[in-house]
Chain A
Amino acid sequence: MIALCMLGCVLFNFPILALFNVPATVFGVPVLYAYIFLAWALLIALMAWVIERRR
């Protein structure tokens, strides 16, 4: 879980965030918005996986 927290800190921080801060779109959605929500969903999925597997 600590590793996941650190992964999140990296994903949602400079400079990774700056990589996606560009005026382009994926399926009509700005890249930055799409990236943040997808990375966020991924992080939650990983947390769920780690926690549920621990049982």
Chain B
Amino acid sequence: MLQGWVIVGTSFAYLGLLFAIAYYADKRADAGRSVIASPYVYSLSLAVYATAWTFYGSVGRAASDGVGFLPIYIGPTLMIALWWIVMRKILRISKQNRITSLADFIASRYGKSALLGGVVTVIAVIGILPYISLQLKAVSNSFTIVLQYPWIIMPAKVDAQPIMQDTALWVALILAAFTIAFGTRHLDAAEHHEGMVAAIAFESLVKLLAFLAVGVFVTFGIYNGFGDLFDRAAADPKLAPMMTPLEGVAGGYASWVWLTILSMMAIMFLPRQFQVMVIENVDEKHINKAIWLFPLYMLAINIFVLPIAFGGLLHFPEGNVDADTFVLTLPMVEKQELLALLVFIGGLSAATGMVIVETIALSTMVCNDLVMPVLLRLRRLRLNERSDLTGLLLAIRRGAIVGILLLGYLYFRLAGEAYALVSIGLISFAAVAQFAPAVLGGIFWKGGTRRGALAGLSAGFAVWLYTLLLPALARSGWLPISFVEQGPFGIELLKPLELLGLAGLDQITHAMIWSMLANIGAYVTVSLSSAQSADEHRQASLFVDVFTQTGEAGGARFWRGTASVPDLYQLLARFQGVAAADSAFQDYARGRGLRWPGDTLIADADFVHYVEVQLAGAIGAASARIMVASAVKEEALTLEEVRKILDEASQVVMYSHRLEQKSRELEAATAELRAANERLKELDRLKDDFLSTVTHELRTPLTSIRAFSEILNQEPDVDLAQRRKFLGIITKETERLTRIINQVLDLAKIEAGRAEWSEAPVDMRETISDTVIAMSQVFQEKNVRVEARLPEKVTAVRADVDRIIQVMLNLLSNAVKFCDPRDGQIEITLAEDERELRVDVRDNGPGISAADQQKIFDKFVQAGDTLTDKPQGSGLGLYISRHIVEYHGGRLWVQSRPGEGACFSFTLPLTRAAGGLAHAA
């Protein structure tokens, strides 16, 4: 059944089915009902990671190294755990900047450098060639083997065949045609290939099912489950060491670790992974599902690798069958024709999926970042003046696809036979790992410069060439083998596999250590020692701070220049076609609330930036920059201008700081003013109170004086005794009037701070005695006994003696007024401690309620009920006394309980004894 025509026919039928799926998906996408807008399709398309390497090569690797094939899948699982941080950021950046490829991403990050984009493209193409040759080898080998059915014959050396009968060449050409049909039928502004993604997802399903089918057949069909298979393998003395495989492998754990790291890089930076992960991503949220679905896929496709490997080793103990072909040869030797065909189709799926996506990604890079920048710079070609360049772009891409596949074939012819599948693939992994420092550094570190990225990439790539690619060519006989074994020119230290004497590691680990050292070292040191241009600095901020920036406006801020709308329209139409340009302009106008054509659009910085980003979607950031620059009279932003902008910005910041300071000062001043105003209002209120109180106080004596004067004046026949009594009242009221006026004047002086103080040493014993003598008349009249307890001797204090006497008089006259009217007693005590003199004046009157004790020191307040009792004083005495005492630095207070008399006390500090006033009140 497995004749040649059946196999070829099935293969073409399968490719036709893929094409139908792609066509259907494209149609659906055009109709707006995309089939790839699902996280499941996205996850399956990511499985383009699993190529013929996985399908055939893993078993080959497992047959020699046991678990040695697993780091290639565990590494991505670990990396994916970091996707939430890394991939979301790359996705966001790529969407905002309309990144079209990995080269575009790196070039764009480092100031839209065309040179850097070119370097990345060259590295990617050269680095991926071994990988593509691997797929060609796998497909042609499997085709040759399955054609020999029912015999198991390994394909003869490729060289032995004339080139026109080499299946690998035909495979390459057919795949090229298929890829062209898939990826370059038309030019998409966003580089979305919906049809391709749908087909890839389908292929991922096919290869998984095919592999699982073989796995189940081998494990449960040929043997009786896992246990039986491993038992038999363990019983075989040749296979027993593989039960603890990590000790036998060259490099052991070091190799394991480095392979893990290597594949962590590969999952991010293989051009095809970048294509399906980033460029073809339609919704950022899809990565949430993919974060666990994709690792699950890898786990599933790897479960049966070991059983198949052991099964193969048990079946073909002589070693005449290449372990890389076990997946295919096991069903064949068991006469399972259909299964063998399914495996062949599965392998074809794995290989074609990889080749299609990889070459599309690479051709985009070659076109946008290598060929177009060069063509656009060649003024001779006058490309700027052509009206439609879409045809040219497509032609370049198609040429690139054919070229890349033929180069892959060339590598296959040159070096392909010397290595197993996995070893070939790992060489490519090591190449793309060189992108890691530039990309990861680029999105997390603003300091990375264009020169740094160039230096790092070049250094890493050079080491890769020297330690991996050249030895591979040497081993195939294209370079003298002495180059590997003795080192170039016989210099041992430069042996490519043991550079500087670093021996004992496997080739990949060795190359990775040196290339990463060179790459990261050069990237960091050159970045630190070189300055960024204005463009670089802006792009670095755009990339690193992508989550904190708003929308796409960020790129337009620093642009200045003039452009015309028709120029921009022509530019866009030239590369994207008229229809795409129209719709882009309409979108832009709609966003501004305008209509196009119709309303006038203004070609301002925003608009130019918009056109550049649109263009970048078709030809890459670096080329787009060149094109826009040619259409727009852009005034290049020099470092000087940037500095000016920065200066202006810092000045603005300074001004705003000053403004803030001023406003703070104003606020403070306002608060002060408000407080002053409050105080003034309070004073005003106090003045009003004072006036009304004083007037009231003055009116009382005046009223009685006037009343008695009128009586005396109008009634001449008042008898003498009466007359004398009236005159006595008038005299007494006049004295009271005088006293009030004196006190008011005193008060005014004290409150205004204009009182005159004459300071002299005062002996308080004398002062008290004098006061008591001066008032003895009053005491006798009121029948009050006064007892003064004075110490033998007290320290003299500096004070105004008249004022102190005034205080004493006030306290004593108050005591006289309020003490018991029948048996009045007043007790004066003078005491001294180390700090102050203290005078107590105690009476035996009715006492003062707690509520009154605070109030009596206020102006015009008198103890008791002023409405019913006849006022006995002006209400100013205590107020003035307290002022006087406080002026001297002392205190005046009262202690009393109703019914137990009152004790007024004041103190005079002894510090004043040394002379001189400490302070003013």
The residues of A with any CB-CB pair to B shorter than 8 Å are 1-2, 4-5, 8-9, 12-14, 17-18, 21-23, 25, 27-30, 32-33, 36-37, 40-41, 43-45, 47-48, 51-52, 54-55
Contacts and interface: CB of A to CB of B under 8 A. Distances in A.
Interface residues of B, number: 41
Counting from the closest, the 3 A-B pairs by CB-CB distance are A28-B227, A48-B292, A5-B81
A20 to B, nearest CB: 9
A23 B306 CA distance: 16
A47 B246 contact: no
Contacts of A45: 292
B303 interface: yes
Interface of B: 66-67, 70-71, 74, 77-85, 225-228, 230-231, 234, 240, 243-247, 253, 256-257, 260, 288-289, 291-292, 295-296, 299, 302-303, 306
A38 to B, nearest CB: 10
Contacts of A48: 291-292
Contacts of B70: 36
Contacts of B245: 21, 32
B78 A17 contact: no
28 contacts: A1-B84, A2-B82, A4-B81, A5-B79, A8-B77, A8-B81, A13-B256, A14-B256, A14-B257, A17-B256, A21-B245, A25-B230, A28-B230, A29-B230, A30-B243, A33-B67, A36-B67, A36-B74, A37-B302, A37-B303, A40-B77, A40-B295, A43-B77, A44-B295, A44-B299, A51-B291, A51-B292, A52-B288
Given A44-B292, A47-B81, A54-B288, 20 more contacts: A5-B79, A5-B81, A9-B78, A12-B260, A13-B256, A14-B253, A17-B253, A21-B247, A25-B227, A30-B230, A32-B246, A33-B306, A37-B299, A37-B302, A43-B81, A43-B295, A44-B77, A47-B292, A47-B295, A52-B288
A55 B67 CA distance: 36
Given A2-B85, A32-B245, A32-B246, A12 B227 contact: no
B78 A8 contact: yes
A1 to B, nearest CB: 5
B99 to A, nearest CB: 24
B60 to A, nearest CB: 17
Contacts of B81: 1-2, 4-5, 8, 43, 47
Contacts of A17: 246, 253, 256
Contacts of B234: 25, 30
A13 to B, nearest CB: 6
B299 A41 contact: yes
A22 B244 contact: yes
A25 to B, nearest CB: 7
A6 to B, nearest CB: 9
A22 B245 CA distance: 9
Contacts of B243: 23, 25, 30, 32
Given A1-B81, A14-B253, A29-B226, A8 B74 contact: yes
Contacts of A12: 71, 74, 78, 260
Contacts of B74: 8, 12, 36, 40
B244 A32 contact: yes
A45 B917 CA distance: 87
Nearest to B253: A14
B84 to A, nearest CB: 5
A54 B244 CA distance: 39
Given A17-B256, A23-B244, A5 B227 contact: no
Per DSSP, chain A at the interface is helix
Contacts of B225: 28
A54 to B, nearest CB: 8
Given A2-B81, A12-B260, A27 B227 contact: yes
A27 B205 CA distance: 30
Contacts of B289: 51
Contacts of A25: 227, 230, 234, 243
Contacts of B226: 27-29
Contacts of A9: 78
A52 B39 CA distance: 13
Nearest to B288: A51
Contact of A18 (B83, B246, B295): B246
A42 to B, nearest CB: 11
B85 A1 contact: yes
A32 B243 CA distance: 8
Nearest to B227: A28
Given A28-B230, A33-B306, A47 B80 contact: yes
A44 B797 CA distance: 93
A47 B872 CA distance: 94
A55 to B, nearest CB: 7
A17 B234 CA distance: 20
A19 to B, nearest CB: 11
Contacts of A41: 299
Contacts of B302: 37
Nearest to A25: B230
B67 A32 contact: yes
Contact of A5 (B71, B82, B299): B82
Contacts of B71: 12
Contacts of A36: 67, 70, 74
B666 to A, nearest CB: 49
Contacts of A29: 226-227, 230
A45 B85 CA distance: 19
From A13, A18, A47, name the one whose CB has the most chain B CB atoms within 10 angstroms: A47
Contacts of A4: 81
Nearest to A15: B253
B746 to A, nearest CB: 82
A21 to B, nearest CB: 5
Nearest to A33: B306
Nearest to A14: B253
A18 to B, nearest CB: 7
A40 B282 CA distance: 29
A23 B243 CA distance: 6
A32 B230 CA distance: 12
Contacts of A28: 225-228, 230-231
